[in-house]
Amino acid sequence: MCATLRCAAMVSLLAGLALAATETLQELKARADSATGVMQNKLCLEYAHRQLAESDDLFNQGEVEKGQAGIRDVVDYARKAADAASASGKRLKETEIDLRKLEKRMHDIGESLALDDRDPVRKAVEELEQIRSQLMIRMWGPQAEPKGAS
């Protein structure tokens, strides 16, 4: 009986992963918008990661305006994820780690761009840093505020 339950759980997990892999970015965005609580947090972070990869591809293809619009979307959904984590009080640490990864990857993408195209990405990285700082203050109080921040 226990083996049957484990097998059923594994099948449902694999089916969920297969669905997530075939889900388009717009479908994921719609699911993230309609979700609440912890599920919204997870879906918003997944969307932000996938949108950042898509923006990187757009930058590499020379579609700078579309790439920068995608970067704005990443920041918006990172903020939604942090707000959902703060509201529920769950996944705070995981969200902070994901935001740090997004911030680092976005910084790397920005550094690979032409000098004229870097400024909007740098500003987006600063916004992600601010969102992360606010989340850390929520977790550990004012002493977690980075030095030099006001």
For the chain, which residues make up each domain, given as ranges? 25-144
Query: Which pLDDT band holds residue 143 (cuts at 50, 70, 90)?
Result: confident
Question: Mean pLDDT throughout 73-82?
Answer: 97
Query: Which pLDDT band holds residue 145 (cuts at 50, 70, 90)?
Result: low
Percent with pLDDT over 90 in the chain:
74
Q: Residues 130, 136, 140, 146: is their CA dihedral positive or negative?
A: negative
Residue 53 has pLDDT above 60, yes or no: yes
pLDDT at 16: 56
pLDDT at 10: 58
Question: Mean pLDDT throughout 50-62?
Answer: 96
pTM of this structure: 0.80
